[in-house]
Amino acid sequence: MSRTFARRRTRTESSGTTPSTVVRFAHMSSAPGAGPEIAQAITAFCAQQFGACGAAKFEISREELSGIVSAVVGKWNASASSAEVQAFLGALRVEELVLTRACAAGNNTAWELFLNRYRAVLYGAAYKIAGDDATARELADSLYAELYGVSEKGAERSSKLLYYSGRGSLEGWLRTIVAQEYVNRYRRTRRETSLEEQVEEGKQFEATPSAPDPPPDNRMDHAISAEIAALHAEDRLLLATYFLDGRKLAEIARVQRVHESTISRKLERVTGLLRKRIRKRLIDGGMSPRQADEAMGELDVRDVQVPIEKSLRQEPGGGTFYKGSEP
């Protein structure tokens, strides 16, 4: 860490603002007006996760954790159903989300943990982009202050860590931030010295040989395909009806002649079970638990090379089990 950044950090810590105060201010004002059922689900989820996520050691209470999670859910989809929120919470990386919020609040313990865990990640990403040690360290150092939440003059401001939503890995998000900062710095430099001016001055540009593309990793596709096929036909029908056809829980419940809450619980159970089985298959296929979590956290369904619709609408023997229901 640079001496300049250390001075900025000390100046901010002397302001007398407690981490809990900053966390409350940053999230209570932006918490969505969720309905009672969703608010209750978030509260129960936070109570379950409170001990494992490390919130207490960062001076974040259960109520403040609920406020943080509520704000993230609201920003993601303020009109989400209870089942959708439950599925969203099941994929949330709560420990990393709590760490970022505690760092943004100025908690020393959180910040030291963050540096120990991610300093090498930041520098490695910066070096891979910049190509030389001096530029990489300058790029990484400039990000420390922005992540901590202070300006060049040491005045307090909003930390970039508040933009992390917990939907993917924090490591992957930090690599993206490094790349964005490098592009911003390049654009600022380009405005000062254009490429044409450099060419006129006789500067030579060497072509950097590109590294060969790594072979595609099909383990995620194989895991998804295998675990969808392993689901009971009735469970696949429920997933197809809800996610592919866009039917509401009330509609599905009416067709099956059960209460809407029954369908909600069943959907939560099926999606949770499917996620656990896919994760286990990835680990059995050679991924570490952390790699499996990151792969699932960063998964974009548009990148999946599996005919999901066909898989969900087929019985194990190949016959179509989904015929569609009248609206």
> For position 9, what pLDDT does the model report?
46
Give me the residue label for tokens 């194990």.
316
Burial 154-181 (b: 16+ CB within 10 A, else e): eebeebbbbebbbebbbbebbbebbeeb
Q: Structural domains in the chain?
A: 1-200 (no CATH), 219-312 (1.10.10)
| 3-state SS, residue 201 | coil
* Host H or E run for residue 85: helix 82-90
pLDDT on residue 56: 92
For 149, left (φ over 0), alpha (ψ -120 to 50), or beta?
Answer: left
| Alpha carbon separation from 4 to 122, 133, 150, 155, 266 (Å, rounded) | 18, 18, 12, 13, 55
Instruction: Give the residue carrying structure tokens 């608010």.
Output: 39
Contact 315, 233 (CB under 8 A): yes
Q: Tell me the mean pLDDT per 10 residues along the chain, length 327.
A: 43 42 40 70 93 92 93 86 89 93 89 90 85 83 75 60 89 86 68 53 55 65 84 85 84 89 88 87 87 72 59 53 37
Q: How far apart are CA 89 and CA 73, in angstroms?
A: 8
